[in-house]
Structure 1
Amino acid sequence: MTAFILVAGLFTNAHVWEGTAGRLTAAGAEAHAVALTGLDGPPGGAEVAGIDLETHVADVLAAIDSAASGDIVLVGHDYGIHPVLGAADRRADRIARIVHLDSGMPQDGVPALAAVPDQSLREQLAERAGAGGAEGADGVLPPPAREAWQRWGSTEGIPDVALDRLTALAVPQPLGTLLQPLRLTGAVDAVPTTGVLCTGNGTSIEMVQMLVGFGDPALQALTDPSVTFFELPTGHWPMLSCPGELADTLLRAAAGEGHRLTPAEAAGTPGHLRPFLLDVPEIPRERNGNVDLYLPDAAGPRPAVVFVHGGPVPAEARPTPRDWPTLVGYARYAAAQGVVGATLDHRLHDLADYERAAADVAAAVEQVRADPRVDGDRVALWFFSGGGPLTADWLGAPPAWLRCLAAVYPILAPLPNWGLGDSRFRPADALAGAGTLPVVLVRVGLEMPEIAATVEEFLAAAKDCGADVEVVDVPNGHHGFETLDPTDESREAVHRAMRSVLARLTD
C-alpha cells in the first residue's frame, strides 16, 4: 500500500487536501495531510515565535516515521516542497517518490523566500528581515484577502465556495519558514521525483523541455529516467479546483508513470539552433560590445530594425542569443532588403531580470541609433517570445523615431507564476499610450495555451483602444517556427511580417 504524505503551501494547511485525500483513500492508498506547526490553528491565532523551516521539516519527519506503509510518496505543494525535501534528505531510504506539485526546485542553502512569486514582496521581506534580525524572522506574513490570492498563483478553476473557504481558513505564514535556508546533504537526489505542472499557472512540459534545450546545467537532472512529469489544465491549487484529477495523477506518479524529458544531447540539434527557414545572404556582422550590426550594401544612413531575443536564457548558454540562427537570419534578411539589421544580447537570465533586460535593450537601441550609418529617426523594434513583456515600455510612450514595433510568438503578459503582475511589463495595459504606432504581431496556431492566452488578452485590449495592430497568422506554426517549421506557410509569414515592418520604416 502506498502512503501519500501531503504538505500544503503558504497560508494553508491540511484542510486543503480533504477532497484529494478522500479520493486517494477510496482508491486503497493511505493519505496523511501534515498539520504544519503554526499553521494548524484558527486564523490569526498562531504563536509563531521560533517557528522556522526546520520546525516544518520536523513535522514532515514525524509523519514519515509514523506512516504504516513502507512505500511513501511525499507531495509538496508550493512552499510545502521545502520541508518535504528537507525531510526526504534525512529519510531518503524510506521515500519511494517525491512529487513537486506546481512548485519549484529548491536548492541547498536557498530559503523559501526565493520562491515567493511576487518580486517586490520578496525584496520587502528580505529588507525587513535584514533590518529586524531575529525579531524580523519571528514576524508573520499576513494571508491574502480573497481577491489577492491571484498574486500567489492562478486561481483558475477554484469554485467560489472553495475560494471563500480558502480565504476564511488562511493563517499568517511565520517569516522564519521563508527566511531560513534549506539544508540538504544530497541524499535526496537519489529519490525518484515527479513534477505536476499546472498549465493555468503558466508552466507546461513543453516549456520545461524548451529550457532543457537551452542547456541550463541546473535542469539537466530533469532528464533522468527517474524523473516524470504530468500536466493539469488548471490553476495553482489543483487540490481545490480538480481534487479527483489530482488524486488520479498522484496514483499514476506513485506507479512511475508520466512523461519523461528528452536529454538535450539525445534530441539532436536543439530547436533554437536549427537552420533559419530562409536562404539569406551571408552578410558579415560587425560586433561592438553586446550589439551586432548587419549592414546593407547601400549608401547613406539607413533605417534599422533591432531584433530583441526572448528568454529567460541561462547566462551560461552558448551560443548566446544574438548568434542563434533565427536572430542572425532575420538581421541578414533585413540587411538584404536595404536596412540595417541589429541583434543584441541582454541579461534576461531569470524572471527577476526584466528590469535590467529593459535597460540593456534601451542602451543597445541608443547605440544603434547613434551609429552614423543608421538613420536614427527611422527605427523598428522586433521582439521574440519572452521578450514580449519588454514591449510595454515602448508601447506606453513610443518615441517619434520608433516607426514600427513587431512581436513574434510573444508572451504578452507575465504568466501567473512569474510574480510580475504589478510590474510595468504588461503590454496590454501599455497599449492605451501607443497612439498611432503600428504593431505587427506574428501569431502561431500551435502556440502553448498559456502563452496564447496572453496574446488574446493583448488583442482584446488593442480592439478596445483602437490600436494599429496587424496580425500575421501561421496556423500550423509552433513557437519558434522559423527553425521548427520550414514550410511555405512559415516562409510566407516571415516575408509578410518583414514587408509590413519595412513599409513603415521606408514610407
Structure 2
Amino acid sequence: MKPRTFVVCHGAWSAAWAWKKVRPLLRAKGHEIFTPTNTGLGERAHQTGPGVDLEMHIADVLGVIEMEDLEGVVLIGHSYGGMIATGVADRARDRIAQVIYVDAHVPGDGQSLQDITPGRPLNGPAPFTPGGAQQDWLMAPNASPSDTSQEDLAWIAPRRKPQSKATFTQKLILRNGPLKLPRAYVHCTKKDGPDVFAQYRRFKDDPAWVFVEMDASHSPNVTAPEALVDVLLGLVR
C-alpha cells in the first residue's frame, strides 16, 4: 500500500490525545496522521464558550487540511466526529479521497446529532466550572466503555472535557449536495447498553458503502488500537 494521509475528526469530550496510541502505529507503517483538537476541548479547553458549535469544529479540521496543504486525505470520523467528517467532506471534496466512519454518526442534510439520537436528551445535570459556577450550555462527558482498563481510565478521565451543547444541536447543512465519495462504516459491536449506532447497519445493503463490524467497544482508538489500525488499513482504497 502506498503511504496515505489520515485526518481524524475525534469524538465528543475528546481531543488529539485520545489518538495517542494510533498515531505511532500508522506512522510505523509509513503513513501520516493528523489529529486536530476541536475548539473548546483538550488543550484548547480554555477556548470553550456557548458559541462553540458544529460549524466551528468543521472549520477546525478544514483549517488543518488547508494549512498543511493536504490532498488525497483518508478522513476518519469517530462518534460525534462523524458529524464533523461529513461537513468536512462536503466542504473539501477535492482534497478528500475517502471517509471512514468509526462507530460514528452519519447525518443527512439539515440534521443535528440530537436529531439522529432520539432518547438521548441534552438536559442532564450541567457541569461546573473550576470556579464553581454551573454552566447549562455545557454537556458533561458520558461514561467510558466498561472494558476500558483502569490504566486507561486514569489517563482519559482528567482529559475529557465538557462540550458546548451547540455542537450537538446545530444542524449540518450540506452545501454541495449529496456526498459521492467512497465511504466505509466500522460498527463496533461490544456495547454496554442500547446501541445508538446500530441504526447504521442499514449500510450493509447499500452499494455506496463498505460496512464492517469490529469486536470492540465504542472507542477502539483507546481499547484496541492495533486492531483498529488493521481495520482502517483494510478499508483504504
Structure 1 and Structure 2 fold alike (TM over 0.5) = yes
Identity of aligned residues (%): 28
1:249 to 214, 231, 234: 231
Q: Partner of 2:9 in structure 1?
A: 7
Deviation at 1:157, TM superposition (A): 3.6
Give the alignment of 1:18-37 within 5 angstroms. 18-37=20-39
Counterparts of 1:161-240 in structure 2 under 5 Å? Answer: 161-187=151-177, 189-201=179-191, 212=202, 223-224=206-207, 226-240=208-222
Deviation digits for residues 40-75 of structure 1 (CA, Å, limit 9, x no counterpart): 3376x4531321111001011112223455220111
Residues 42, 171 of structure 1: 8 Å contact kept = no
CA distance in 1, matches of 2:226, 2:68: 23
Amino acid at match of 2:121: L
Amino acid at match of 1:158: T
Q: What SS class does the counterpart of residue 200 from structure 1 fall into?
A: coil
Could you tell me which amino acid in structure 2 is paired with residue 141 of structure 1? M
Superposed CA deviations along residues 317-370 of structure 1, whole A, max 9, x for unmatched, are xxxxxxxxxxxxxxxxxxxxxxxxxxxxxxxxxxxxxxxxxxxxxxxxxxxxxx
1:344-363 map, 5 Å: none
Separation (CA, whole Å) in 2 of partners of 1:120 and 1:49: 20
Query: What secondary structure sits across from 2:94 in the alignment?
Result: helix
Q: Unpaired runs of 5+ in structure 2?
A: 127-134
SS at match of 1:93: coil
Change in Cα spacing, 1:156 to 1:178, as seen in structure 2 (3 Å) is same
Query: CA offsets, 1:131-175, max 9 Å, x none?
Result: xxxxxx98111224xxxx15xxxx154221112221110111011
Residue of structure 2 equivalent to 1:160: 150
Equivalent position of 2:140 in the other structure: 142
Matches within 5 A, 1:268-283: none
Unaligned stretches of 5+ residues in structure 1: 129-136, 213-218, 256-507
Query: For residue 129 of structure 2, what is the aligned residue in structure 1?
Result: none
Residues 121 and 192 of structure 1: is their aligned pair in 2 closer, same or farther, counting only changes over 3 Å? Answer: same
1:186 to partner: Cα distance: 4.8
CA distance in 2, matches of 1:104, 1:236: 12
**SS of 1:99's equivalent?**
strand
CA RMSD of aligned residues (A): 2.8
Q: Which amino acid aligns with 1:223?
A: D
Larger Rg: 1
Q: C-alpha distance in 1, partners of 2:166/2:113?
A: 10
Give, as a single letter, the amino acid of the residue that structure 2 aligns with 1:99. I
Deviations 1:228-254 (A, max 9, x none): 122221110100111111112111211
Counterpart residue number, 2:130: none
Q: Distance in 2 between matches of 1:83 and 1:42?
A: 17
Which amino acid in 1 is paired with 2:140? Answer: P
Q: Contact 1:157–1:234 at 8 Å: present in 2 too?
A: no
Residue 105 of structure 1 aligns with an amino acid whose one-letter code is V
> Which secondary structure does the structure 2 equivalent of 1:158 belong to?
coil
Separation of aligned partners in 1, 2:100 and 2:189:
16
Aligned with 2:76: secondary structure? strand
Task: Write the distance in 2 (CA, Å) between the matches of 1:101 and 1:177.
Answer: 19
- 1:77 correspondence with 2:75: no
Structure of greater relative contact order (alpha carbons < 8 Å, 6+ residues apart) = 2
* Separation in structure 1 between the aligned mates of residue 177 and residue 5 of structure 2, nearest angstrom: 21
| Per-residue Cα deviation, 1:381-437 (whole angstroms, up to 9, x for no partner) | xxxxxxxxxxxxxxxxxxxxxxxxxxxxxxxxxxxxxxxxxxxxxxxxxxxxxxxxx
Q: TM-score normalised to the size of structure 1?
A: 0.41
Is residue 23–residue 244 contact of structure 1 (8 Å, CA) maintained in 2?
yes
Q: Which amino acid aligns with 2:14?
A: T
The one-letter code of the counterpart of 1:250 is L
How big is each residue's C-alpha offset from its partner over 1:208-241, in whole Å with a ceiling of 9 and x where there is no partner?
A: 79x65xxxxxx59x522x4212222111010011
SS state at 1:252 partner = helix
Partner of 1:88: 89
Residues 243 and 40 of structure 1, relative CA distance in 2, 3 Å threshold = same
Superposition pairs for residues 254-265 of structure 1, below 5 Å? 254-255=236-237
2:84 counterpart letter in structure 1: P
Distance 1:180 1:18 in 2: 29
Following TM superposition, by how much is the alpha carbon of 1:21 offset from its aligned partner in structure 2, in angstroms?
1.4
Residues of 2 paired with 1:179 and 1:21: CA distance? 31
Hey, what's the Cα distance between the residues in 1 that align with 2:235 and 2:48? 36
Which structure features the higher share of helix residues? 1
* Runs of at least 4 residues off by over 6 Å: none
Deviation string, structure 1 residues 270-303 (Cα, Å, up to 9, x no partner):
xxxxxxxxxxxxxxxxxxxxxxxxxxxxxxxxxx
CA pair 42-2 structure 1, distance change in 2 beyond 3 A: closer
